Amino acid sequence: MEKIKKTEKLEKNTAVLLIRKKQFLALKIILAEMNPADIAALMGEMYDEENVDERELTVLYRILPKELAAEAFAYMDSEAQLILINAFSDKELRYVVDELFLDDTVDIIEEMPANIVSKILRNTDAEKRKQINELLSYPEDSAGSVMTTEFVYLHMDYTVERSFDRIRKIGLTKETVYTCYVTENRRLVGIVSLLDMIVSEPGTKIEDIMETNVVSVYTSDDKENAANTLSKYDLAAIPVLDREDRIVGIITFDDAIDVLKEEATEDIEKMAGISPTEKPYFQTSVFQLFKARSSWLLVLMVTAIFTGLIIGSFESQLLVVPALMMFVPMLMDTGGNSGSQSSAMIIRGISLGDIKFSDFSRVVWKEVRVGLACGFFLASVIFAKVIFFDRLGVNIAAVVSLTVLIVVVIAKFVGGALPLIAKKIGVDPAVMASPLITSIVDTLALLIYFFIAINMLEIL
């Protein structure tokens, strides 16, 4: 799909072959031409699939050119990083940590066991250590926890020329300097983009070209909201303020993208009744997957047992009209599917910031109407089917189709309302999704079904 011009893409098998045959010089030559992200991916893959052991992984890493090695390190998964840090001499580690972005260093530290953390901090200079500890203190999922404190701030009375000197001196990397932040005793008063500076005369004062209409978030804001805000306003970076409106960091577009991807993955997993697993699929062990999935399966199995008890308690009626049993799976599935359709849309809308609790009545009203439309449609189909295909007569046809109509409407109502209520009471809406709603709706569906049946067919 993508391609890297003038760059090697090394096939895993080729790499393994070269290692086995001790062709390290050849490897070095190829790797030196590769993109750090690809090197990290290659090494991770080789280790995951046990093509190389810890020792070989370290050897492989050490043949990389120093700077490239440090870049690749940032892209590796925590498993590989742990192995390497263990093998690093203090000197090696100090070099890597110096090269790393602050926010990457923090991400790594968050994944590491205590002894490794202290090894890292031991090899970090005092100033950086202070910043790291600050970042670590922000709650998980907060904007503060994903921001970087590396950004360029300028003063209003700087000239463009002086600002450029400052940028050159600080010499940060691309992501973090597209926008510079104008501060007055650390309070954010405006922003100015590199482009605005380039198109202005060297003598121009920053205050004359700065944009005072600034979108910002607070360190305590949810990181997903921060990322959505960045994307809503098409920003390359969004400034993060503390309670006193002082700018303490920025979130850059690349980190915002990662946040949005993670959150979407989490939502999808929760909707499927999985406790989120953080790491990519292949880096999650069978046991971790078992833990993440079994708990919900158990909960849902138990709820489904109640559905079974309901059927059991209507056993006598079922013996009178055994045909009724035939429609139980259809009613359960149709109810469950209708409900999860609604919940999926509402949960996604909440994540994207399109739907808020204040929209409750609008959502419910819309879902009920959609439910009526879908309900009548399905009910008429099933009515015809029971009469002409099953030849079970008008009574049973009426019971089944009436149940379908009611169940679909209720399912849409529950599916639309529950996520918003969850959000309101501070529960994760995604947890309120398909599997749980399915169980609720299943139970309701059967109760409604038997109630209607008993009354319309006068079974006792």
Within 208-227, which residues bind a copy of itself (CB under 8 A)? 212-218, 221-222, 225-226
Among 10, 16, 63, 268, binds a copy of itself (CB under 8 A): 268
Binding characters for a copy of itself, 277-306, by CB under 8 A (x = yes):
x--xxx---xx-xx--xx-xxx-xx-xxx-
Q: Does 423 bind a copy of itself (CB under 8 A)?
A: no
Say if residues 341 and 378 touch (Cβ distance below 8 Å): no
Residue 313 is encoded by which pair of tokens? 């308690």
Nearest to 224 by CA among 146, 148, 279: 146
Binding piece for a copy of itself, criterion CB under 8 A, among 81-89, 110-118, 164-172, 447-455: 164-172
Nearest to 394 by CA among 456, 339, 331, 312: 456
Among 59, 121, 272, 321, binds a copy of itself (CB under 8 A): 272
Choice between 159 and 334, CB closer to a copy of itself: 334
Nearest to 457 by CA among 311, 329, 317: 317
User: Could you give the 3-state DSSP secondary structure of residue 140?
Assistant: coil
Among 174, 186, 246, 424, binds a copy of itself (CB under 8 A): 174
Within 361-420, which residues bind a copy of itself (CB under 8 A)? 362-363, 366, 369-370, 373-374, 377-378, 381-382, 385, 408
Task: Report how many residues bind a copy of itself under the rule CB under 8 A.
Answer: 134
Give buried/exposed letters for 324-352 (b at 16+ CB in 10 A, else e).
Answer: beebbebbbebbbbbbbbbbbbbbbbbbe
Choice between 300 and 398, CB closer to a copy of itself: 300
How near is the Cβ of 6 to a copy of itself at its closest, in Å? 5
How near is the Cβ of 55 to a copy of itself at its closest, in Å? 24
User: Could you give the 3-state DSSP secondary structure of residue 252?
Assistant: strand
Choice between 114 and 286, CB closer to a copy of itself: 286
Q: Does 63 bind a copy of itself (CB under 8 A)?
A: no
Q: Which residues sit opposite 251 in a β-bridge?
A: 238
How near is the Cβ of 377 to a copy of itself at its closest, in Å? 5
Residue 272 is encoded by which pair of tokens? 């499927």
The residues near 392 (Cβ < 8 Å, ≥ 6 apart) are 323, 386
Residue 243 is encoded by which pair of tokens? 């309670």
DSSP string spanning 379-439?
Answer: HHHHHHIIIIIS--HHHHHHHHHHHHHHHHHHHHHHHHHHHHHHHHTTS-GGGGSHHHHHH
Among 18, 39, 180, 188, binds a copy of itself (CB under 8 A): 188
Q: Does 355 bind a copy of itself (CB under 8 A)?
A: yes
